[in-house]
Structure 1
Amino acid sequence: MAARRLTEAGMTILERNWRAGRTGEIDIVAQDGDTLVICEVKTRRAGSFEHPMAAITPAKAERLRRLAERWLQAHGSAPPGGVRIDLVGIIVPDRGAPEAEHARGVA
């Protein structure tokens, strides 16, 4: 669902669930024009304690930056537009279809 949302926004998905050893995982790596997008995906049930858009803490943002550096080391230099960290939050209601929200440049 998150990849579809990014594709509908005009992005190209480069990788999904990219792992950097024990450092962690990038949920989605995408390209938005000349910008590399590192996208975190968070899913929550409706009514849960924390909204998925609140998931990027300073520690999580730093981990995503380190993972972006590792991805660039493995795949080449940063594109002209640089690197951006986005978040796709998915809310799963008790009834009905899940809803996705995309926030750009969260960290």
Structure 2
Amino acid sequence: MNDFASVPAEQLHQVTLDGISPESINYSFSYKNVTNKKLKKLIVNENNVFFACTQAKKPVFRFASGQRVHMVNPFEYAGNEVICLGRMDFLMRGIHLHGYLFQFA
């Protein structure tokens, strides 16, 4: 996830997933760049994917695998309907995070 650019913190308030701003979100990237075998099996089409993250301790959102989510993002032009493919938990700079992988519908 560190290989892909993230939306700057001062612009995060402009991005929402079902009306909720994520604590961190990547710009979308090609589904071909997903190298994790478990996540790669979840890909549903050939559209771009991205990660949206929230702290595990106090999550601001929760999404189920397969859930369709309305996204508002002035930095992306691929559409505003995305599908949650799954969740990956990880540690970044000492903070436990839930990273949700989304793909444009």
Per the shorter chain, which TM-score range? 0.3 to 0.5
Higher helix proportion (structure 1 or 2): 1
